[in-house]
Every structure is written in C-alpha cells, then in structure tokens.
Homo-oligomer: A and B are copies of this chain.
Amino acid sequence: MPSLPTPPSPNPDSASFSGGDALGLSGLTPAFSPLYQQIKGLILQSLQSGEWKPGEAIPSEMDLAARFRVSQGTVRKAIDELSAENLVVRRQGKGTFVATHAEQQVQYRFLKLQPDNGDTQSEGPAERTIIDCKRLRASADIARALSLRSGDPVLQVRRVLAFAGVPTILEDLWLPGAPFKGLTAERLSNYHGPMYALFETEFGVRMVRADENIRAVNPDAEQAKLLHVDLKVPLLSVERVAFTYNDTPMELRRGLYRTDTHHYRNALS
C-alpha cells in the first residue's frame, strides 16, 4: 500500500502493489489486485454515490493522484478503463466528465435501430406516444429479470415511437417501483430527450450497460394495431435488460421493431 508519509521518493512501498490497498482502506477492498484497479474502484464508488453528477467534471488526474497518494500515471490507467467502459468522457484541455445519456451527439445510445438510408439526422427526432403507464405487482419473469421478488411493486410503461409519422417501435418497459417513485405518464410525456436522461436527472439512476436478446416474431392483435401493421408482418423482438453500477438490473424493456424501413445495426470485432 502507498505509505502515507512519503512525499518525494521512489516509494518502493507502492511498487509492492500486490495486496496493496490504496488509502489504507484495508477490509473494504478485497486487495490483491493492481493499484490502478483499486483506484478505479474508488472512483467508481464516488461516481455511484453521486459525488460527481452526470455531465460534471471529475477532479483532474493530478488532484486524484494526490488524493489517493499514487502517481498520475496510475490514476490515468484507472480513468482509461472507465473511459473505455463509457462511464466517463475525456476532453483534452478541459477535463474528464461523468458520462450522461443527455447532451450527447448520439441521442439514443442503446438504440441500434436505424433508417435503411443510414441518415439518422434527416429523419428527425422520434415522435413519442405514451400508451400506458401504471403501477402493478411484478410477475415471476419480470421479477427475475429485475432481481426482485414476485409481487414487488413495479412501474409498467407502454409507448410507441414513430419516425416521419410511421409508428416503428412499440416498447413495454418495467422499472422497479422503489427507485422510480413519483414517475408518471405526464412526466414522461412532458420530458423532451432520451428517457435514460430523465432517469438520471430526476431519479439519479444512470444506465451503464445493457444486454439484448433478439428474436423474430409476429405481433398479436393489439401490437399490430399500435404499429399499424398486419398480423402476418414479421417483427424484431428485442428484450433488453439495462444495468446501473454494480451490474444491478434497473429496467426490463421489450421492444417490437418494424424492419421494413429500418434495420438493427451491429458492429462485430
């Protein structure tokens, strides 16, 4: 562990990082991991606790290095990983900022559906219509996806997204009741911007990553009606579980995508 009273020296203690423990937090960190990983964990805790809010700058690398008693390079490597995971954004000359779903060029970071002509700009913003929004008790499968117990209160929302007047996406989504106390159809409707941005500003819930599970299906009668398609039209079924920090699931979303004018795009590497 970095010894606290060691101002300017090769700090041989820091070199023996194995089992090291930044800031002397023995017992809190399981230790036996690289120093920069421990630093990453500490920064993650601060992000999680809301010490720095989405869109705000975090302290400079030098400041963090001083705070954690490590070199700037070690802090840099920690931030490198956080940046690679899209948790923070670096801006040369300005600082490092907490990532947010608002104010980004890409309005919908997790939406991989795009128009066939590829021009996301020309089609303009999606027209959103809240079909339904109510509180109910979680069924078994919803509870499992959200790591709740069957019967726990959840918020269920159904909405349609249209592009150029054509309804293209029908989404049902479920949110755990507790963290989203006070969310209503009206607040969803009045908010202009990505839903995940609203979750950030109003409920302090930041979606960090998500898993999607895709199938081809036919709509049922109600779904077909809402999307203005025939019962026989094949649609993309996209089931998404979105996670906050610590891999905590905070949303289950079941989307039906029309793929006659749009397609789901994915980059493999």
Q: With an 8 A cutoff between CB atoms, is A264 at the interface? A: yes
A112 CA / B257 CA spacing, docked (Å): 19
CB neighbours of A208 from chain B (8 A): 269
Describe A's contact surface by its main secondary structure.
strand
B-facing residues in A199-244 (Cβ within 8 Å): 208-218, 232, 234-236, 240
A232 CA / B217 CA spacing, docked (Å): 10
Q: With an 8 A cutoff between CB atoms, is A132 at the interface? A: no
A267 touches B214 (CB 8 A): no
Q: With an 8 A cutoff between CB atoms, is A263 at the interface? A: yes
Q: With an 8 A cutoff between CB atoms, is A6 at the interface? A: no
Interface 1/0s, chain A 86-110, versus B by CB < 8 A?
A: 1000000000000000000000011
B-facing residues in A132-181 (Cβ within 8 Å): none
CB neighbours of A240 from chain B (8 A): 268
B267 touches A266 (CB 8 A): no
Q: With an 8 A cutoff between CB atoms, is A60 at the interface? A: no
Q: With an 8 A cutoff between CB atoms, is A259 at the interface? A: yes
A269 touches B216 (CB 8 A): no
A218 touches B234 (CB 8 A): yes
A268 touches B211 (CB 8 A): yes
Interface 1/0s, chain A 241-267, versus B by CB < 8 A?
A: 000000000000000010100011111
Q: How far apart are A68's CB and chain B's nearest CB, in angstroms? A: 22
CB neighbours of A123 from chain B (8 A): none
CB neighbours of A235 from chain B (8 A): 216, 234
